[in-house]
Chains A and B, each alone.
Chain A
Amino acid sequence: MKWGMVIDLKRCIGCYGCQLSCKAENGTPPGVYYARVLKAEEGQYPTVRNLFLPVLCNHCEDPPCVSACPTGASFKWEEDGIVDINHDLCVGCRSCMMACPYTNRYFNDQASHYHPQSATPYEAARTASHQTNVVMKCNFCRDRVRGGKPPACVANCPTVARVFGDLDDPTSDVSRLIKERGGFTLHPEVGTGPSVYYLPA
């Protein structure tokens, strides 16, 4: 069992639904977005294409963040391939952040909230419980997934651009889409073996 995600760039409209539903699910503090939407354009007027690229932790086969971690806090689950962080072991050295070629890790410096005057009740419930002085990142909504639900970003996407499933199963939707539509990973040349694939726009 190897969890993987497919993001269909033909369907994505750059609505930030993934970025924000992830934030709502995980209660991430200001400046931390496990899922992000990057925007770029290519071409020259009038032959222009606008590109939307949602990114997140790639849960690599051979994660450099895990090999860089001195304490073993960064690890990859045997059972399903999720790359995760044990915050009790993390000492905040940030070697993993330097090792990640995709800049998908964030350092939670100190407790913070969005409005200067006070934390909202939502943040008290969901953000305050995050440990400080540690690195944080996407964990494929590990608890949701193990409870039988898809990750929040997948469940929410209004264009149904995100698909989640078992890459080890050749009949799964993710495996099938990668094969049929020519799924590709980001920066394959760095050789980490991402589990997040993209379908061409």
Chain B
Amino acid sequence: MNMINVVNTAARAIDDVWLPSSCSLCYGTCSILAHRVDGVVVKIEGNPESAVGKGRLCGKGVSGIMTHYDPNRLTHPLRRTNPKKGLNEDPQWKEISWDEALDEISAVLKQVRAEDPRKLVVQRTTTVTASRVPFQTFAAAFGTPNFSVSGGGQHCGNGAHLISGIMHASWSIVPDFEYCNYAIYFGASKGHAAGHASCSNMGKAADARARGMKMVVVDPICNFAAAKATEWVPLRVGTDAALALAMCNVMVNELGIYDGAYLQAKTNAPYLIGPDKLYVRDPGNKEPLVWDTRSHCARPFNEVAAADMALEGEFNVDGTLCRPSFHCLRDHLRKFTPEWAEEISTIGSATIRRLAKEFGTEARVGSTIVVDGVTLPYRPVAAIAFRGSQGHMNSVYNFYAVDLLNHLVGAADVVGSCLGFNPACHGHPDTGKMRYIPSAGPDGLMVTGMWMGYHYPYPPSEPRLPTNLGLQDLFVLGMTSPFLDSTDREDMWQRFDVPYRPEVMVNFGANLIMSIANKETVAASLAKYKFMVSFDLFLTETSSFADIVLPDCSYLQSLDSRSNFPFIFSLPAGTGEWCWPIRQPVLPPDGEQRNCADVLLEIADRVGFRADLNAAYNASLNIQAPHRLEGETRYSYAQICDAELKNNFGDERGLDWFKENGLVKWKKTPAEVYWRPFVDVRVPIYWEFMLPIGNKIAAIAEPRGLKIPMEYYQPMPDFLPCTSHCCKKSDFDFYAFYYRDIVHTNSFTMENPWLDEAARLDPFSYTIAINAAQARKRELHDGQLVWIESEAGRKVKGRLKLTEAIHPEGIGIAAMCGHWSDGMPVAKGKGVFFNELLELDWDHVSPVNNNLDLCAKVRIVPVEAAP
């Protein structure tokens, strides 16, 4: 493989190189080639050799130069001299040396580790995918379970990743763009904005569009994905489950469309359910029973041929009356009529019936197709969801109801269907490493082969009296927790007798003040930390709460052996290539900037837990002998990266080889891409485990005064309203929501002047989108300055943009704008800070997965002109 690596070897050595590396403007982490001439990066392009991005980049990726060279970047460690912390407090920074900084940090951490290591909370931004291992291992080795990702998960993933993990053994789901004929997107923009497999998906989605794939986009606003859709279906904010459940009902009960064979063989549809809503189990081996239609008796599921399993019927098993779960589901779905769904979602019942018929028909249940000589099931439909639809109280059921559409017709991880991102990999052809495959776990249900954290989505852990600050050991279906910063966190900790409190935070690049909820709540939480260290590129709104700020290297100055891995996260799904790129420094650090991974290693050395950290790295990176890290040896991060690469790809392919070549890739096989028919695992179309988990949580929580609403812990999905849906206040008649802008990432890129310039030219990036007719009815005009005020009285100010492309009840705002930090002067004052409208407490999160409820009922108040 030839890299474009031109080094002019004339008599006078001239620096003119293209170095392969990885982008970091969003977590898509597309592969790049960075052109450095005489010590200056003058261009960033995609790397055509890589499957990640395929040689192309979005607007953010090509603009990375101006993030790196921002003169507002931190270059020296800083120490606050003003002990007071608050939104209006000036930290009064003074520059200190690294030695001073690390002395103080190590002293604090040493003390905390001796007292109770759980008092340390580690936060990181999801934007830098490669930061996961260094910070996760640091937390694990230090001895704290309190590891979080700021707004990540709480906003966008507690639902999406939970259900994608349980139902598709992956982090996320996407249509099989190459073969899908009909895709329905619920609050998602895969292939049209950013995120997982960003640029690769953009190319694949464009190919699908050119090929004629129909794309229906269900979204309160018509932008990005809906702009390219064959049909935009506007709906009332947060009501996706109503549409999805009605479609399931129409398909199964009105049209009789479902994939019986798939349900029999690949789901728990035949498992018998008793009057207690639980599996009827074999008294001996406790396996769930199915009804064998051949021998007319109930037998353990793993002893009956799939085709002989009943999907419907009433059976008596030793006196217990029971039905297969599919029968329960079918009956359960009947109440979700299109008329019912129309009331809730505002989508016409005729449209709902039509969508269900189109989806069910195009699923072509029973058909097959030959790919590379292999005959595979062919279901060219996909229903996908992501941040938008799962960002509500009904997070779990919203996402699950959408995915149920797929499983009812067998459109899961087969050709043309809804795919997880790379759930199965047969490993590198030479070394066999990185092999992972989903397997059958308890009750025959699928356990993912690869995950991003220590706790897998299935099987769920046993709820217990929590000792994690985030209560994830109680709310076991949650992931990122709101309870680290919520207004009721102290109540929760007291209620559950959590025997310690957070005292120290190590933050990598996250801007918690802006990325979680209203700034006042998170500020109050951060101000209580006794000591906070923040690795940052700029002084953000969150940096101002730190005691010490450390100047981080940008991605152009950083090394990471696994910029992209695991493959479930951001390698494009579907046919193509496995690809392992790295990130390498193109430029040296400026001033006193240092690489965070190396800093963490040094801190571990000073505090005295290097051996634990080496062990954590071995476990996390799965490093075997002879490359395994030993004892307390003080490996540098570069040495650890080298060990990982050699471990995975052989001794000849260590760091030096990767710096030269950039990546390793090999072709995917159809059996890997369309793995489902080849692996004997089942997924739950009846979440039987919900009820016992809910009961166990209630048994712990309710005696301590926390009522668990059991309607959220039922085995079959429902539509449960958000606070906004229940609001009856007379002039609060809009649902405010946010969306991810294509030109910005989190709260990060508004500081980039090229991206800011593009955003200022865009009609929507910094404005408040409102339905034109609704605005005119209220005598509001384009460009008008208004307050958007929530039920709780929180408000944000911005300019209206009248548009036809939004639901009449919607107020749409691009995410995480509205900076106020002086440390980000380009970002300051641009756009609207939507998250100010969000509350952060038990009442505003899903009681199941603790995802935040991201919609708010609001009223519009024109800003009075100054007198």
Contacts and interface: CB of A to CB of B under 8 A. Distances in A.
B758 A19 contact: yes
Nearest to B58: A15
A156 interface: yes
Most B CB within 10 A of own CB, among A31, A46, A52, A160 = A46
Contact of B206 (A36, A116, A161): A161
Contact of A45 (B53, B742, B753, B805): B805
B226 interface: yes
Interface of A: 8, 10-11, 13-17, 19-21, 23-25, 27, 30-31, 33, 36-37, 39, 41, 43-46, 48-52, 114-118, 120-122, 124-126, 152, 155-161
A164 B193 CA distance: 24
Nearest to B772: A45
B65 A24 contact: yes
B753 A114 contact: yes
A158 B753 contact: no
B222 A48 contact: yes
Contacts of A116: 825
Contacts, number: 160
A126 B232 contact: no
B60 to A, nearest CB: 8
B63 A20 contact: yes
Given A41-B805, A45-B805, A120 B71 contact: yes
Which 3 pairs across A and B sit closest by C-beta, in order of nearness?
A16-B59, A50-B227, A120-B69
Contacts of B754: 20, 23-24, 114
Nearest to B228: A13
Given A50-B805, A120-B69, A156-B45, A45 B773 contact: yes
A17 B764 CA distance: 17
A115 B43 CA distance: 19
Contact of A13 (B224, B757, B771, B806): B224
Contacts of A48: 222, 232, 804-805
Given A13-B202, A13-B227, A118-B71, A158 B42 contact: no
21 contacts: A10-B209, A14-B742, A15-B59, A15-B743, A23-B62, A23-B754, A24-B63, A27-B42, A30-B753, A31-B757, A39-B762, A39-B764, A48-B805, A114-B754, A114-B826, A122-B65, A122-B69, A125-B38, A156-B57, A156-B62, A159-B203
A185 to B, nearest CB: 21
B576 to A, nearest CB: 15
Contact of A158 (B203, B772, B773, B806): B203
Contacts of B755: 16, 20
B202 A44 contact: no
A160 B59 contact: no
B437 interface: no
Contact of B56 (A50, A51, A157): A157
A150 B41 CA distance: 21
B185 to A, nearest CB: 13
B14 interface: no
Nearest to A116: B825
A155 to B, nearest CB: 7
Nearest to A153: B62
B811 interface: no
Main secondary structure of the interface of B (DSSP, over half): mixed
Contact of A125 (B40, B45, B203): B40
B57 A11 contact: no
Contacts of A49: 227
Given A15-B59, A21-B57, A125-B38, 20 more contacts: A11-B206, A15-B58, A19-B59, A20-B60, A21-B59, A23-B754, A24-B62, A39-B762, A48-B222, A48-B805, A115-B70, A115-B72, A116-B825, A120-B66, A120-B71, A121-B39, A156-B56, A158-B199, A159-B202, A159-B203
A13 B741 CA distance: 12
Contacts of B198: 158
Interface string B14-34: 000000000000000000000
Interface string B70-92: 11100000000000000000000
Contacts of A155: 45, 55-56
A54 to B, nearest CB: 11
A20 B758 contact: yes
Contacts of A43: 804
A14 B227 contact: yes
Nearest to B771: A45
A33 B46 CA distance: 21
B803 interface: yes
Contacts of B762: 39
Interface in B744-765: 753-755, 757-758, 761-764
Contacts of B448: none
Nearest to A49: B227
Given A122-B40, A122-B41, A159 B205 contact: yes
Interface in B182-201: 192-193, 198-199
Contact of A17 (B57, B70, B757): B57
A117 B71 contact: yes
B328 interface: no
A156 B757 contact: no
Nearest to A50: B227
B44 interface: yes
A24 B39 CA distance: 16
B37 interface: yes
B388 interface: no
A16 B59 CA distance: 5
Interface string B793-809: 00000000001111010
